[in-house]
Amino acid sequence: MKTIKNIYGNFKHYAFLMQQLIMRDFKVKYKRSVLGVVWSLLYPLLMMAVMALVFSQMFKFRMEGVNYLVYLMTGLIIFNYFNEASNTAMTSVVQNFTLLTKVYIPKYIFPISKCLFVGINFLLTLIPLLLVILFTGSGDTKCIINVWYILLPYIFICMVLFTIGVGLFLSSVSVFFRDMFYIYGIVMTIWQYFTPIFYDINILPKKLQFIMHFNPLYIFINSARDIILFAKSPSIIALLACGASAIVALFIGGIVFKKNQDKFIYYA
Amino acid sequence: MIDVKNVSMKFDLGIEKNFSFKLLFISLFNKKKRVKKEYFWALSKVGFHVKKGEVVGLIGSNGAGKSTLLKVVSGVMKPTKGKVVCKGSIAPMIELGAGFDQELTARENIYLNGAVLGYSKKFLDSKFEEIVEFSELREFLDVPVKNFSSGMVAKLAFSISTIVDPEILIVDEILSVGDIKFQEKSRHKMMEMIHGGTTVLYVSHSLDSIQELCDKVIWLDHGTIKMIGETKEVCDAYYLEQMGMTKEQMKQKQKKEKQKNS
């Protein structure tokens, strides 16, 4: 109980710093680009357009009774969030070594602020998703905004917490083991193909389908798709799995980070 | 109040010669090049006590452990052995401008660096004018810091980090910041803080400024305390040792200088 209180107090004290770091990232990200923040909206739309073109035209992917654009877009923005946030969180500690060796700042601030910053970006990408939901599909494939949307924030929060956990883990491991930057690039490529972003899980062999249920990204994406595409509530088990993966990731990431953070400085 | 109890700080020199496949391969053929554990004690068994309001100087040649000691006291590093107890808010002025983002403007950096130093938004809002005034950079407020000269960056950084009235001030050789006018101003500001009852830990290679400011001096040598005591006494002893002179030679030199002057 005391530690929770401590953590909360610390958080409150450093909330302003966190806010400043996020604002810095935001200002620097689109500095000198003409379209600026519009890119946050445009980028996922264009990605979706390219993928839709490639898979529905070149590879003749067909999913009956499903709005393929919305299907793609949901998977894409969730996966992109995780990919970008975990990557920037991983490099955040190493990148800020100049600061960490000079002033005392709780080190967890960096990976967490990165995850939240990309999270804001993620919220922006919900706008193009909404546009796709509203303006594509007809008849059977028309998606409707329904009451289950109230569950979306829960899924997104679980997704962010899960990413923070992974980010904490990666950022502390990469301090000691810089090869992680390269290894993680490969891991992410594998993970991308192993997550049904553009394909239907049913085309996989039964064994793989079973393993897929242990892929947290699949759980998040599938739950969001249940709501957005099929206007139904995700199963209770899926919702619990969302929360469980967030808690487990946070727990493991937090412990690994806390155990090692005092040693970071020697590896600068 | 700062209480440093028997602090030792060990660095693992092997870290730089990290484990890698390259080294593994070499060590297969060359037994001499096998990675050995090498340690370096930057501080060993350092202990002292600084009372509230006391100004303590740290002297010692390069690599004696002065900056490491400051980092241990300010909490950036955890000591390998021993304990540091500080009562009161600490303002570390170890490396000015470490928290600046080159892409951001001076105005944005005041808030960012302020946040890094642990100030609140309300505090920064109320002190913003004062910081700008002191830094003499009003015209350049909306210019990205990357376009600043190093003197301007230092002025801005000094203005931000001295805006608080900390209970403990940790200073690593920063009085020589900016142009002559600003140096005088920053010296004045420091004196003001010191006379306001702040506890100060001050590192400098300038014995003049140490003698001017400090009540007590600690002489560090190879990570241990060689001497601790009265400012004049320690400074003289340090100077003699560094110059490789004995007391007699020193006296003679002083005599000669006097004769020259008269």
To probe the interface with B, which of A11, A20, A105, A113 has the most B CB atoms within 10 Å?
A: A20
Which of B15-19, B63-67, B137-141 comes out lowest in average pLDDT? B15-19
Look at B76 and A24 and tell me if their CB atoms are within 8 Å: no
CB atoms within 10 A of CB B199: 23
pLDDT greater than 60 at residue B34: no
**What backbone torsions phi and psi does residue B123 show, to the nearest 5 degrees?**
-60, -45
Residue A15 vs residue B165, higher pLDDT? A15
Which of A230-234, B110-114, B208-212 comes out lowest in average pLDDT? B208-212
User: In a 3-state reduction of DSSP, which class is residue B73?
Assistant: helix
- Name chain B contacts of A23, Cβ cutoff 8 Å: 108
CB-closest option in B78, B98, B103 to A102: B98
Task: Tell me: pLDDT of B37 over 80.
Answer: no
For residues A253 and B4, the model is more confident at A253
Does the pLDDT at position B206 exceed 90?
no
Res B128 pLDDT > 80? yes
Q: Does A6 reside within a domain?
A: no
* Spatial separation of the C-alpha atoms in residues B59 and B68, rounded to whole Å: 13
Task: Choose among A27, A99, A262: nearest Cβ to B116.
Answer: A99
Is there a contact between B99 and A20 if contact means CB atoms under 8 Å apart?
A: no
Q: Considering only alpha carbons, which residue of chain A is nearest residue B115?
A: A17
pLDDT (0 to 100) of residue A152 = 95
CB interface of A with B, residues 12-51, below 8 Å: 13-14, 16-17, 19-21, 23-24, 27-28, 31
Contact B111 A20 (CB under 8 A): yes
Domains: count for chain A: 1
Residues of A in contact with B74 (CB under 8 A): 103-104
Chain A residues lying within 8 Å of B115, measured CB to CB? 16-17, 19-21
Distance from CA of B246 to the nearest CA of A (A): 39
Q: How many CB pairs under 8 A join A and B?
A: 61
**pLDDT at position B189:** 83
- For residue A102, the chain B residues in CB contact (below 8 A) are 76, 92, 94-95, 98
Kindly report the nearest CA distance between residue B253 and chain A, in angstroms. Answer: 41
Is A2 domain-assigned?
A: no
pLDDT of residue A251: 96
Cα A205 from Cα A210, distance rounded (Å): 9
Amino acid A122: pLDDT: 94
Pinpoint the alpha helices (H) of chain A. 2-29, 38-52, 68-95, 97-100, 109-135, 152-176, 180-193, 206-212, 216-230, 236-260
Candidates B112, B123, B146, B203: best to mutate against A (most CBs of A within 10 A) is B112
Which residues does chain A have with pLDDT short of 70? 1-2
Would the ipTM clear 0.90, i.e. be above it?
no
Domain that holds residue A157: 14-267
Q: Which amino acid is at B208?
A: D
User: What is the mean pLDDT of the segment spanning B220-239?
Assistant: 88
pLDDT of amino acid B36: 61
Q: What is the pLDDT of residue A129?
A: 93
Helix (H) or strand (E) holding B110: helix B106-116
Residue B31 has a pLDDT of: 65
A82: in domain: yes
Over residues B211-220, the mean pLDDT reads 88
- The helix-helix angle for A68-95 and A38-52 (nearest 10°) equals 130
Give A85→chain B minimum CA distance, Å: 21
Instruction: Pick B116's closest partner by Cβ from A13, A23, A105.
Output: A105
Give the predicted TM-score (pTM) of the model. Answer: 0.86
Q: Please report the pLDDT score of residue B176 as a whole number.
A: 65
Task: State the CATH class of domain B2-89+166-230.
Answer: alpha beta
The answer to whether position A87 is within a domain reads: yes
Residue A3 forms part of a structural domain? no
